Amino acid sequence: MRILLTGCLGQLGQELRQRLLAHGRLYATDHNTPADEHQVFSLDLTDRGALLRILDKLQPDLIINTAAWTAVDAAETEQGPANAINVVVPQILAEWAAANQALLFHYSTDYVFDGTNTLPWYEDDSVGPVSVYGQSKLDGENAIINSGCKHIIIRTSWVYSSHSKNFVRTMLQLAVSRDQLQVVDDQRGCPTLAENVALVTIEILKRLQLAEGKDLSGVYHYTDDQPLAWCEFAERIFSRAHEIGLIESIPEVIAVDSSVFQTPAKRPLYSVLNCEKIERVFGIQQKSFSSALDDCLAGIQRNHSEDLS
Ligand SMILES: NC(=O)c1ccc[n+]([C@@H]2O[C@H](COP(=O)([O-])OP(=O)(O)OC[C@H]3O[C@@H](n4cnc5c(N)ncnc54)[C@H](OP(=O)(O)O)[C@@H]3O)[C@@H](O)[C@H]2O)c1
């Protein structure tokens, strides 16, 4: 199998890269590739001509598209570039996949929902993004579905990892210099380790191979298993990081309403995703948030603790 992985230097892309090597001939790409990174080729996916040339040359059977515009606030003022990568690129990949019988894996977000539910969102619940980012991810999903290609779209939420820029690493960096932190208490979702989304992706690939051509295309929700408010997430990070000696002291977390932080983009207040479908179809159960956080913090302690000073 020939596999094209996009966004391979991002949070999820990094977790997928090594794991995909066992599954075929891997071509990994990103757009700001460091000079010493010889296994990755540089490509701006929004260069339509270049993208189509690469697809025609590599002829992937499987395209795994983790590349995205993920800067939620910046998308409010940078709608054009956000749509270029979150809508137009998935559309090009999907149309190519449809014409060439390739399978497209793609990732989307809890931010396609408006956040007004009080129970976890099902895949076919009404969508209603409240931000440009959420709308762009929804439009990307629809472009894929409308192309008619074989696809798996995984909606996930609040992704973090031991590397890259994310909430866990930001909290740990702040813990070094602050005794007190204000953190939002009125947005609830499920923090999800990027590695677990990668493991779920590999698991689905194996199940699809066993399904022998049966088309299981669709949107699936996957998150780790613990709904939390951002302030509760921060408390869990500090408590475990302190226990393992990653931070010297625990800052006081002051729970505040999201109106205290005037961000350009609105966020859904309740974006917990129901993950029954992925279990029913692929036998995939939600992984433990506690273990995931421990793994992430251990990874930071092992490889990235100098970033916190
Ligand atoms: N992060 C979250 O909390 C979250 C939550 C729900 C869903 N998701 C979805 O999960 C997927 C993976 O997210 P992630 O956190 O791994 O994202 P990420 O860390 O931001 O990685 C995205 C990658 O795409 C690359 N990219 C952006 N524009 C590109 C372009 N024009 N050409 C080539 N590469 C480009 C980025 O490169 P640069 O960094 O150099 O721009 C980056 O390496 C995305 O679809 C995202 O929408 C994420």
Q: pLDDT of 136-157, one tens digit each?
A: 999 999 999 999 999 999 999 9
- Ligand 1 pocket member 196 (CB < 6 A): no
pLDDT digits (tens, 9 = 90+) for 103-113: 999 999 999 99
**pLDDT at res. 214:** 85
Which pLDDT band holds residue 39 (cuts at 50, 70, 90)?
confident
Q: Whose CA is nearest to atom 26 of ligand 1?
A: 67
15 has pLDDT over 90: yes
Which pLDDT band holds residue 305 (cuts at 50, 70, 90)?
low
- Ligand 1 pocket member 10 (CB < 6 A): yes
Structure tokens at 233: 């997430």
Which of 27, 107, 111, 133 is catalytic? The answer is 133
Q: Domain residue spans in the chain?
A: 2-165+192-225+273-287
CA 282 to the chain's CA centroid: 19
Pocket test of ligand 1: the residue of 37, 70, 271 to mutate, having most ligand atoms within 8 Å of its CB, is 70
HEC per residue, the chain: CEEEEECCCCHHHHHHHHHHHHHCEEEEEECCCCCCCCCEEECCCCCHHHHHHHHHHHCCCEEEECCCCCCHHHHCCCHHHHHHHHHHHHHHHHHHHHHHCCEEEEEEEHHHCCCCCCCCECCCCCCCCCCHHHHHHHHHHHHHHHHCCEEEEEEECCEECCCCCCHHHHHHHHHHHCCEEEEECCCEECCEEHHHHHHHHHHHHHHHHHCCCCCCCEEEECCCCCCEEHHHHHHHHHHHHHHCCCCCCCCEEEEECHHHCCCCCCCCCECCECCHHHHHHHCCCCCCHHHHHHHHHHHHHHHHHHHHC
pLDDT digits (tens, 9 = 90+) for 260-302: 988 999 999 999 999 999 999 999 999 999 999 999 999 999 9
Atom of ligand 1 nearest to the CA of 9: 43
Pairing of strands 25-30, 2-6: parallel
- Ligand 1 pocket member 158 (CB < 6 A): yes
Cα angle, residue 229 at apex, residues 226 and 231 outer, rounded to 5°: 120
**pLDDT at res. 166:** 96
Fill in the amino acid letter for 2.
R
Report how far ligand 1's centroid is from the alpha carbon of 71 (Å): 9
pLDDT digits (tens, 9 = 90+) for 90-126: 999 999 999 999 999 999 999 999 999 999 999 999 9
Closest C-alpha to 258, from 190, 159, 183 = 183
Atom of ligand 1 nearest to the CA of 85: 31
Closest C-alpha to 27, from 52, 68, 53, 64 = 64
**pLDDT at res. 298:** 96
**pLDDT at res. 268:** 96
- Ligand 1 pocket member 60 (CB < 6 A): no
Which pLDDT band holds residue 32 (cuts at 50, 70, 90)?
confident
Burial class, 218, CB count within 10 angstroms (exposed 0-12 / middle 13-18 / buried 19+) = middle
35 has pLDDT over 80: no
Q: Whose CA is nearest to atom 1 of ligand 1?
A: 159
Which CATH code of 3.40.50.720, 3.20.20.80, 3.20.130.10, 3.20.20.105 fits the domain covering 2-165+192-225+273-287?
3.40.50.720
**pLDDT at res. 211:** 77
Cα angle, residue 159 at apex, residues 204 and 200 outer, rounded to 5°: 10
Mean pLDDT of the chain: 95
Catalytic residue flag (residue 133): yes
Model-wide pTM > 0.85: yes
